[in-house]
Amino acid sequence: MLLLHGGVGSDKSKLEYLNSKLNDYAKVGSASASPLENVVNAVVKMEDDEDFNAGTGSVMRIDGSIQMDAAVMIPGDFGSVIAIERVKNPILVARDVLEKSPHIMLASDGAVKFARTLGYEEYDPSTGKARSRLEKVLAELRSENAGISSNVAHFKKFVNSTQFVEGSCDTVGAVARMDGKFAAAVSTGGSSPMMRGRVGDSPVLGAGIYCGPKGAVVATGIGEEIAKNILCYRTYAKIGSKPLKEILKEEVDSFGQTLIGLIAVDKDDYAHYDNGSMAVGTNNLEQ
C-alpha cells in the first residue's frame, strides 16, 4: 500500500481537489514492486505540481532564492539533500545519495555538485505564484500596521525586515509497504519565516522521516518543533504498542496548537492524523 500527504495547513476549500490529485499520484506511484521506487515516483509527481510546496511548487526564501530539502529511507539506509538549488526533483537526488554515494546527507553546493556529476540538468523551480507570495509578505513585513501576523511581529523584533518571510509550512511525503517491506520519502520547499540556509525537519533522520523493520513514518508541519522532538522516530518507536491511528493522534495532540501532521504504515495497518487541514491520498495495493 502507498499513502501520501500534501502538507498540513492546506486550504480547506481545496482539500477535496488535492485529495483527488493525491489519489491519482498514488496510483501512478504504485507501478513498481519496490516500495522505495513507489514512494520516490509518487513524490516526483508532487514535486512537479505547483499546488504543493516541493520542487516546482517551492516557496521562496527571503532573498528570492529557492532551497529545497528531500529525503528517502528504507530499513537500515538513508539519503537526503539539504538546501539544494536549481534541480527539478530533489527526491531523485536524495535517492542517489542513498544508492550511489558513500554518505547519507549532502548539503547546499555539495549537493548541487553531486547532482550535476550524475547528470541532473540546471532547472529553475521558481514560479509566478512563489514570486507573488514573496512580494505580498515582504509588503507586510515592511508595514507598520499593528495588525500584522504574530510570526511577522515576532521576527521584526530580532532581524531586519529583509531577512524573513511568512508563508507556507507544508511538505509532501509518502510511506509504502509491499510484501512486508517499507519505505518513506519526503520533500519540501521549506517553511517560513525562512532565512537562506534554514533547515527544517524533512531531511533530518528521525525528525521528519523514519523507516525501519516495523514500519515507516513521515511528518509535516512546523519543522523546528518536529525536529526538536525527533517526532518520526518517537512515533516509530511506539509502533506495536497500540493501534497505529491512536499512536499518531497521541503524538500530534502532544503539540497542542502547533501545526503538525503524520502519515504512517506498519505491518498490519496504515493511518494519518493532523491538527490542521492535510491532503492525503492512497492506493491500497495490499499484499
Q: Write out pLDDT tens, residues 47-65.
A: 999 999 999 989 888 888 9
pLDDT at 13 over 50: yes
pLDDT at 287 over 70: no
Predicted local distance difference test score (pLDDT) of residue 55: 96
Q: Which three cell numbers stand for residue 255?
A: 503539540
pLDDT at 277 over 50: yes
Q: Write out pLDDT tens, residues 162-220.
A: 333 334 557 899 999 999 999 999 999 987 657 889 999 999 999 999 999 999 999 99
Catalytic residue list contains 162: no
Domain spans of the chain, in order of start: 2-55+69-78+168-283
Spatial neighbors of 134 by CB under 8 A, at least 6 apart, are: 59, 60, 62, 64, 165, 167
Q: Would you say domain 2-55+69-78+168-283 falls under CATH 3.60.20.30?
A: yes
CA angle 39–93–111, rounded 5-degree value: 145
* Mean pLDDT confidence for 107-124: 97
pLDDT at 145 over 70: no
Predicted local distance difference test score (pLDDT) of residue 158: 46
Average pLDDT, rounded, for the chain: 89
Of 74-83, 120-129, 166-175, the range with the lowest mean pLDDT is 166-175
Predicted local distance difference test score (pLDDT) of residue 251: 98
Predicted local distance difference test score (pLDDT) of residue 149: 58
- Phi-psi region at 140: left, alpha or beta (left = phi > 0; alpha = psi -120 to 50): alpha
Q: Write out pLDDT tens, residues 214-266.
A: 999 999 999 999 999 999 999 999 999 999 999 999 999 999 999 999 999 99
pLDDT at 77 over 80: yes
Q: What share of the chain has pLDDT > 70, as a percent?
A: 87
* Mean pLDDT confidence for 147-166: 48
* Mean pLDDT confidence for 5-19: 92
Q: Which amino acid is at 66?
A: I
Of 102-106, 108-112, 131-135, 203-207, the range with the lowest mean pLDDT is 131-135
In a 13 Å sphere around the CA of 237, the CA atoms on its Cβ side amount to 9
- Answer yes or no: are the C-beta atoms of 182 and 48 closer than 8 Å: no
| From 56, 127, 162, 171, the catalytic residue | 171
92 CB-contact burial (10 Å; exposed 0-12 / middle 13-18 / buried 19+): buried
- Answer yes or no: are the C-beta atoms of 232 and 219 closer than 8 Å: yes
